[in-house]
Amino acid sequence: MTTQPVIDFKKLIESLPDATVIVNRDGKIVLVNAQAELLFGYPRQELLNQPLEILIPVRNRSGHIRERIGYYLSPHIRPMGKGLEIVGLHKDGHEFSADISLSPVEAGEEVLVISSIRDISDRKKIEEALTEEKERLSVTLRSIGDGVITVDSQGRIVFLNRVAEILTGWGQTEAKGRPLLEIFHLLNEKTRQPYEDPVAAVLSTGKIVEIAGPTLLISKEGIERSIVDCAAPIRDPAGKILGVVLVFRDITGKQKMEEELLRTMKLESIGLLAGGVAHDFNNLLTSILGNLDLVMTEKEPRNKRSHWLSQIEKAALRAKEIASQLLTFAKGATPVKRVVSIKELIEEAAGFALPDSNCRCELVFSDPLWLLEVDPGQIIQVIHNLLINASHAMPEGGVLTVGAENITLKNKEARHRSLKPGNYVRVSVKDSGVGISKEHLHKIFDPYFTTKETGTGLGLSNSYSIIKKHHGTISVDSQVGMGSTFSFYLPAATKEISAPSRGEDALHIRHIRVLIFDDDPMIRETAGEILKQIGYEVVYASEEREAVELFRQAKESGEPFDAVILDLNLSNGMGGIDLLARLKGIDPSVRAIVSSKNLEDPVMSDCRKYGFKGRLAKPYDRKDLAKVLHDLLHTL
Ligand code: ADP
């Protein structure tokens, strides 16, 4: 038999961790422990025989503690008392939150009430702070301008803010606990097919999911709104997914405004284009009709008639050129693609782009550079346009930087640039010129938009159309007074480099070769030096036989001359016309420029009639030389 331990009641009370105060039937304190002395700041003699209320503020004294005590002392009820939250009063007058538990205990004849009191000030502070934080969060979420919905890990609605209530048409109370898709109906704006559940996508991947727009949200009342939406996981500190938060924005109004703006801008562009075409064609027609009128008044001498006819021809050719540029813009000449290195195309374009400017071109290539599958001629034309514009932006001269680098565009960046994700080569042309004002920035790619007195406004629109045809994109970054950087992205080739084909395209990946035929050594050398500087390969001939031989050899070796410059009146009496006839015998497609100081000579005034493709009036300078060759090589 085990003997019952004898417990010293006082010692037991003393060892309890909570402040303990025992009162008698009258509510007077009969016993306290050290924790109670500490908690209330009274030595125990001062507490004994005092009513329990001494330990609570005066305003709380009437009523419930005493009632509670009476309740516990009633003869019918003997359960343990429940915790009661009270305000405690320290001897020094400060108040604190406390939790009190009352329970009756029989002591001989008497029934006493034991009260265990615990200071809960710290816990209260934390609770209050938490409530405040919760309140603040809820106010923030409710007043936020975007719709916010949170769901639990089962995909059931936990919370909807006010905007979400308005956009979905569902109130917080009725929506709570329902599966998301019951209140959040999303359709693809174009196909009107329902979207998959964004919450399921977040829960399965654990990643942020952006719904690729445009998306329609259909409200409870059937109202359709365009929204942009993203869903993100809510995690606990250990990383476990507790639910998903959806944030979405109504862009219906914004989209309408953008569409409106786009329509206005399109109309402006069409107006500009139509005005430009009308202006150009009017001028050309004026010239054609005026000259025709003169030709038809037969009284005039014959030599004048040929001049008028040549003016008509010139105007008609210019009209043809404009039409072809417009066609490139409208549907883009189909690129004849070949795998090439962009480095060579840039070097080639830079070689002849800036003949009459004080600008210097700096080329910066990252190594290695991916190859491109492009139409070399068209891409050279784009770089050429950008370089010419850059040099125009720096009339005082300066340095232009042309760079090329490899760029891999991931989903988001690619979408941002309206490109497919993948490998691209980015080419940039940077100047430190006048820059482009904000007002002009969105117009510069429009056909016929120009701020230059003699500009055509077709350079950038053609470049844009060429780059689009190559599945790339072109953009500009500019600040007035600081300069501009035009950048275009072209997809990297998936094939190996291909051999240059013969004919026109081969032009663009080797040096352009020019034969100069002139018996004046000074002219030969000066012209040669200039052309070499610009980037051409130059061969000289001082006699007709030598010129014919060099021309034949070049043709037979597969590296024909791209252009020949022939002096019209050699001092020995032989002229460029005879020589041209012999060269045509070797290669009928020879591209020849006639050069003479005698402008009155009919060959000079109407060189095309005599089979030449251009003329160069002596004395000529770098600018004339570069221009005539450029025009010759870029008109087919
Ligand atoms: P154009 O050169 O004949 O005017 P473009 O289409 O090439 O035609 O250019 C359109 C306009 O864009 C130019 O008139 C000019 O106002 C602006 N622009 C283009 N490139 C630059 C540049 N690098 N710096 C400043 N302005 C530029």
Calculate how far, in angstroms, residue 158's C-alpha sits from the geometric centre of ligand 1.
56
Residue whose CA lies nearest to ligand 1 atom number 20: 389
Question: Which of 273, 444, 453 for mutating ligand 1's site (highest number of atoms within 8 Å of CB)?
Answer: 444
Residue whose CA lies nearest to ligand 1 atom number 17: 444
For residue 431, the ligand 1 atom closest to its alpha carbon is 23
Note the pLDDT of residue 575. Answer: 73
- Average pLDDT (513-521) is 86
Note the pLDDT of residue 500. Answer: 42
Looking at per-residue pLDDT, the higher value among 455 and 35 belongs to 35
Note the pLDDT of residue 63. Answer: 60
What is each CA distance from 107 to 3, 9, 22, 81, 112, in whole angstroms? 22, 10, 11, 17, 7
Q: What is the mean pLDDT of the chain?
A: 82
- Average pLDDT (245-252) is 87
- Determine the Cα–Cα distance for residues 168 and 219; give it in Å rounded to an integer: 4
Question: Which of 389, 392, 487 for mutating ligand 1's site (highest number of atoms within 8 Å of CB)?
Answer: 389
pLDDT digits (tens, 9 = 90+) for 293-319: 777 776 656 667 777 787 888 788 778
Report whether pLDDT(262) > 50.
yes
Note the pLDDT of residue 437. Answer: 93
User: Using the 8-state DSSP alphabet, how is residue 499 labeled?
Assistant: P
Calculate how far, in angstroms, residue 498's C-alpha sits from the geometric centre of ligand 1.
34
Report whether pLDDT(406) > 90.
yes
Calculate how far, in angstroms, residue 627's C-alpha sits from the geometric centre of ligand 1.
19
The answer to which of 10-24, 73-87, 148-162, 179-193 has the lowest mean pLDDT is: 73-87
Residue whose CA lies nearest to ligand 1 atom number 14: 450
- Determine the Cα–Cα distance for residues 413 and 421; give it in Å rounded to an integer: 8
Query: 243 CB contacts (<8 Å, ≥6 apart)?
Result: 150, 151, 152, 153, 158, 233, 234
pLDDT digits (tens, 9 = 90+) for 576-624: 888 888 898 888 888 999 988 877 788 888 888 888 888 888 777 777 8
Question: Which of 279, 460, 467, 475 for mutating ligand 1's site (highest number of atoms within 8 Å of CB)?
Answer: 460
Calculate how far, in angstroms, residue 475's C-alpha sits from the geometric centre of ligand 1.
13
Note the pLDDT of residue 21. Answer: 92
| Confidence band for 263, pLDDT divided at 50, 70 and 90 | low
Calculate how far, in angstroms, residue 257's C-alpha sits from the geometric centre of ligand 1.
28
Report whether pLDDT(506) > 50.
no
- Average pLDDT (213-240) is 86
| Confidence band for 80, pLDDT divided at 50, 70 and 90 | very low
Query: 215 CB contacts (<8 Å, ≥6 apart)?
Result: 186, 187, 188, 189, 195, 226, 227, 228, 229
CB-based contact 188:207 (threshold 8 Å): no
Nearest to 622 by CA among 522, 561, 534: 534
For residue 486, the ligand 1 atom closest to its alpha carbon is 23
- Determine the Cα–Cα distance for residues 478 and 429; give it in Å rounded to an integer: 12
**Token pair 């950008």 in the structure block, residue:** 386
pLDDT digits (tens, 9 = 90+) for 307-355: 778 788 878 877 876 776 666 666 555 677 888 889 988 987 887 656 6
- Average pLDDT (72-87) is 60
Residue 60 token pair: 């709380």
For residue 440, the ligand 1 atom closest to its alpha carbon is 16
Residue whose CA lies nearest to ligand 1 atom number 25: 435
Note the pLDDT of residue 302. Answer: 64
Report whether pLDDT(496) > 60.
no
Calculate how far, in angstroms, residue 507's C-alpha sits from the geometric centre of ligand 1.
27
Calculate how far, in angstroms, residue 235's C-alpha sits from the geometric centre of ligand 1.
52
Measured at the CA of 626, the angle between CA 625 and CA 632, to 5 degrees, comes to 95
Note the pLDDT of residue 1. Answer: 55
Pocket of ligand 1 (CB under 6 A): 385, 389-390, 393, 431, 433-434, 436, 440, 444, 449-452, 455-461, 484
For residue 433, the ligand 1 atom closest to its alpha carbon is 24
Report whether pLDDT(65) > 70.
no
Note the pLDDT of residue 56. Answer: 86
- Determine the Cα–Cα distance for residues 149 and 155; give it in Å rounded to an integer: 11
Note the pLDDT of residue 209. Answer: 85
pLDDT digits (tens, 9 = 90+) for 102-125: 887 877 778 788 888 989 888 888
Calculate how far, in angstroms, residue 508's C-alpha sits from the geometric centre of ligand 1.
25
Note the pLDDT of residue 77. Answer: 46
Whether the bond into 368 is cis, omega within 30 of 0: yes
pLDDT digits (tens, 9 = 90+) for 355-391: 667 888 899 998 888 999 998 878 988 998 899 899 9
- Average pLDDT (451-465) is 84
For residue 451, the ligand 1 atom closest to its alpha carbon is 14
For residue 445, the ligand 1 atom closest to its alpha carbon is 6
Calculate how far, in angstroms, residue 450's C-alpha sits from the geometric centre of ligand 1.
6
| Confidence band for 35, pLDDT divided at 50, 70 and 90 | very high
User: Residue 630 class from Cβ within 10 Å (0-12 exposed, 13-18 middle, 19+ buried)?
Assistant: middle
513-517, strands of its sheet edge to edge: 537-541, 513-517, 563-567, 592-596, 614-617
Percent of the chain with pLDDT over 70: 86
Note the pLDDT of residue 79. Answer: 46
**Token pair 């480099």 in the structure block, residue:** 497
CA dihedral 192, 194, 196, 198 (to 10 degrees): 80
Give the global pTM. 0.43
